[in-house]
Amino acid sequence: MSDYYFDIETYSKTKDPDFNNDEIIAITYQQIDSRTGDVKGKLNILKSWESSEKEILQRFYPIFNVENKWDFVPIGYNLSFDFTSLIYRWRKMDIKVNGKSLLSLFAQRAYIDIEPVVIIFNHGRFEGAKLEKFAGKRYSGSKIREWYEKKDYPAIQDYIEDEIDRFLKLYQFSVQRLPDVWLEFAKESKIVV
């Protein structure tokens, strides 16, 4: 099994996401151990400003669209946004899906999304359940628009590196501590003795 931290960055000309028109400007992935959160491979950042959006989407497609769904298991936060963005942009760029629909690429894929865990950390509330609050990210993703328009690509790179660092710390904490929380519940509930 090959587990990967996975995230994309998008550029939107408007305040709200618009999947039809928002560009994917960076695709980040790094092999990690899903059981510990330890890094196992180098950080890969495909950047549209070094080539084009179409090129990074074409380069990422064969990495993501592997025959065995266990060869690339995405681990991230709010992966439904990333998956939806990829579907729309692959379609827009006319990148052909070999032998399956785009939707099935995601519906049949194994993945780990920690957004529900963050919502639980936030006492079950969706509002305020943000990665910057619970992982200590320095910036919100809303800064990407400003940096991209100013062509401040080093700031975007720094943001991406900070985000993966903060995400991995929260993920490592969660996979190390949450099994003990469940075990405490299981003992109290006499599920296990």
- Tell me the fold of 3-188: Nucleotidyltransferase; domain 5 (3.30.420)
Q: Please check the confidence at residue 133 and state whether its pLDDT lies above 60.
A: yes
> What torsion, rounded to 10 degrees, do the Cα atoms 160, 166, 172, 173 define?
-160
Any idea where the domains of the chain sit in the sequence? 3-188
57-112 residue pLDDT tens: 999 998 987 677 889 999 999 999 999 899 889 989 988 766 556 667 677 789 99
Q: Check: CB of residue 86 under 8 Å from CB of residue 7.
A: no
β-bridge pairing 3-11 and 44-47: unpaired
Report pLDDT for 68: 79
Give the integer Cα–Cα distance in Å for 62 and 90. Answer: 12
% pLDDT > 90, the chain:
66
What phi, psi does 34 have (nearest 5°)?
A: -65, -20
139-181 residue pLDDT tens: 888 899 999 999 999 999 999 999 999 999 999 999 999 999 9
Residue labelled with tokens 């320095």: 138
**8 pLDDT tier (thresholds 50, 70, 90):** very high
Give the integer Cα–Cα distance in Å for 140 and 44. Answer: 21
Work out the mean pLDDT of the chain and round it to a whole number.
91
31-56 residue pLDDT tens: 999 999 999 999 999 999 999 999 99
